[in-house]
């Protein structure tokens, strides 16, 4: 045997090992994820609470992965436009949805035609924050608490208008449940995000809103809007002294929401877990937690399995609420 042949024989195992390693990486998309631009689809207009969260996540993910992460605002339809785009996207982890209760859990139960099935077409990645709404009124409206709002609404049926960031959002659903439980007739006015709602409220185009706390809190603190209640079951640290609706004469009232990241169903679990791990690191950062808490968000972090289980459970719970409230949409 020549020296050349002897060296070749010794190199064969190394060549095979390198080949197998290369094939393994090629077969495992998570090994090279991400290697191109990631897009987070936000279902509402720029400037609102969800947009702030989406851009915070995009910045931190981009820094961690040394990749471009962009936010693409697809406003309209209470989030159905954004959700539909993600449901039909490639199952590779490069198109993600900043999802919430409305488009994921509620719309399929109250709209006749929704072009996706939330349990079939989406894979949960991570629930990141829980958020409650705050009832805010234009200071020209002569009410300072829920009993006064109910009395004023009954004295002026159909003359009060409440804006929301879209059909089937918690701002809309909170109003519908409130109308049903109190017997008032406050008219719903949908907008394309939290920022347009706040603009309309400040201008006096609408009288009140069941707004997200992040969208309204700076105007509450400056006195430009008046907060009269929160929609959860306890006061918020960000809004001390503002009582829940249930503690102001409407004991059956409680509405809260979440925001989180979803991917198209069929996205490789390894990629979903990789995104989940990074999101968990971001949401635990002290500066991020402080920033979100200041705006009224409560940070959480779930596994993909926990998120999927919660969504499945809450879809059924919302069906009961929707049927009792008689909420239907074309």
CB-based contact 43:81 (threshold 8 Å): yes
Could you report the per-residue pLDDT of 116-152, keeping only the tens digit for each? 999 999 999 999 998 889 999 999 999 999 999 999 9
Pair of tokens at residue 25: 């990486």
Asked if residue 48 is part of any domain, the answer here is yes
CB-based contact 133:170 (threshold 8 Å): yes
Q: Does residue 1 carry a pLDDT above 80? A: no
167 CB burial (10 A radius; 0-12, 13-18, 19+): buried
One domain, residues 196 and 303: no
Mean of all residue pLDDT scores within the chain: 89
One-character DSSP codes across 93-110: SSEEEEEEHIIIIIHHHH
One domain, residues 300 and 242: no
Q: Which helix (H) or strand (E) holds 62?
A: helix 49-65
One domain, residues 319 and 239: no
The DSSP code for 186 is: P
Q: Which helix (H) or strand (E) holds 278?
A: helix 269-283
One domain, residues 13 and 48: no
Euclidean distance between CA atoms 57 and 61, whole angstroms: 6
Asked if residue 179 is part of any domain, the answer here is yes
Nearest to 200 by CA among 165, 230, 232, 168: 165
**pTM for the model:** 0.76
pLDDT over 70 percentage in the chain: 91
pLDDT score, position 2: 57
Q: Does residue 15 carry a pLDDT above 70? A: no
One domain, residues 138 and 126: no
CATH of the domain at 67: 3.40.190.150
Asked if residue 176 is part of any domain, the answer here is yes
One domain, residues 122 and 268: yes
Positive or negative torsion for Cα 200, 202, 206, 209: positive
Report how many domains make up the chain: 3
Asked if residue 116 is part of any domain, the answer here is yes
Could you report the per-residue pLDDT of 148-205, keeping only the tens digit for each? 999 999 999 999 999 998 777 789 889 988 998 999 999 999 998 888 999 999 999 9
Could you report the per-residue pLDDT of 95-110, keeping only the tens digit for each? 999 999 989 999 888 8
Q: Which residue has the higher pLDDT, 322 or 15?
A: 322
One domain, residues 140 and 222: yes
Asked if residue 231 is part of any domain, the answer here is yes
CB-based contact 247:25 (threshold 8 Å): no
Confidence of residue 24 (pLDDT cuts 50, 70, 90): very low
CATH of the domain at 162: 3.40.190.10
One domain, residues 160 and 232: yes
Its domain, for residue 154, covers: 132-247
One domain, residues 164 and 242: yes
pLDDT score, position 273: 98
Asked if residue 93 is part of any domain, the answer here is yes
- The last residue of one of the domains, among 202, 218, 247, is 247
- The last residue of one of the domains, among 184, 217, 247, is 247
pLDDT score, position 233: 86
CB-based contact 229:150 (threshold 8 Å): no
Residue with tokens 């990074």: 278
140 phi/psi in degrees, rounded to 5: -75, -15
Q: Does residue 327 carry a pLDDT above 80? A: no
One domain, residues 243 and 283: no
Cβ-based neighbours of 24, under 8 Å, separated by 6 or more: 31
pLDDT score, position 295: 74
Q: Which residue has the higher pLDDT, 91 or 325?
A: 91
Confidence of residue 4 (pLDDT cuts 50, 70, 90): very low
Asked if residue 211 is part of any domain, the answer here is yes
Could you report the per-residue pLDDT of 261-296, keeping only the tens digit for each? 999 999 999 999 999 999 999 999 999 998 888 777
One domain, residues 117 and 80: yes
Q: Which helix (H) or strand (E) holds 264?
A: strand 256-264
pLDDT score, position 157: 93
Q: Does residue 5 carry a pLDDT above 70? A: no
- The last residue of one of the domains, among 247, 275, 291, is 247
What would the mean pLDDT of 248-270 be, rounded to a whole number? 94
Asked if residue 330 is part of any domain, the answer here is no
């Amino acid at each position: 045997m020549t020296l050349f042949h002897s060296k070749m024989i010794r190199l064969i195992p190394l060549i095979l090992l390198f080949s197998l390693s290369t094939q393994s990486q090629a077969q495992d998309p998570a090994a090279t994820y991400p290697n191109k631009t990631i897009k987070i689809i936000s279902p509402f207009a720029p400037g609102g609470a969800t947009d702030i969260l989406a851009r915070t996540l995009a910045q931190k993910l981009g820094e961690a992965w040394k990749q471009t992460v962009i936010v693409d605002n697809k406003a309209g339809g209470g989030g159905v436009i954004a959700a539909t785009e993600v449901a039909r996207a490639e199952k590779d982890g490069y198109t993600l949805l900043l999802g919430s209760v409305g488009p994921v859990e509620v719309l399929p139960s109250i709209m006749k035609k929704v072009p996706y099935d939330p349990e079939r077409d989406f894979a949960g990645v991570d629930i990141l924050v829980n958020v409650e709404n705050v009832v805010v009124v234009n200071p020209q409206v002569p009410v300072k608490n829920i009993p006064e709002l109910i009395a004023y609404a009954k004295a002026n049926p159909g003359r009060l208008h409440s804006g929301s960031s879209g059909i089937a959002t918690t701002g809309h659903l909170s109003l519908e449940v409130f109308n049903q439980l109190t017997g008032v007739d406050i008219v719903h006015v949908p907008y394309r995000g939290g920022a347009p709602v706040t603009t309309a409220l400040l201008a006096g185009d609408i009288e009140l809103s069941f707004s997200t706390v992040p969208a309204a809190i700076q105007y509450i603190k400056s006195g430009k809007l008046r907060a009269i209640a929160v929609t959860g079951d306890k006061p918020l640290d960000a809004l001390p002294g503002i009582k829940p609706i249930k503690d102001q004469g409407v004991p059956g009232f409680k509405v809260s929401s979440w925001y989180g990241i979803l991917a198209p169903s069929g996205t490789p679990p390894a990629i979903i877990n990789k995104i989940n791990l990074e999101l968990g690191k971001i949401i635990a950062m002290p500066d991020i937690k402080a920033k979100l808490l200041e705006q009224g968000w409560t940070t959480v972090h779930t596994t993909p399995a926990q998120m999927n289980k919660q969504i499945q459970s809450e879809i059924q719970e919302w069906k009961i609420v929707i049927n009792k409230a008689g909420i239907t949409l074309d």
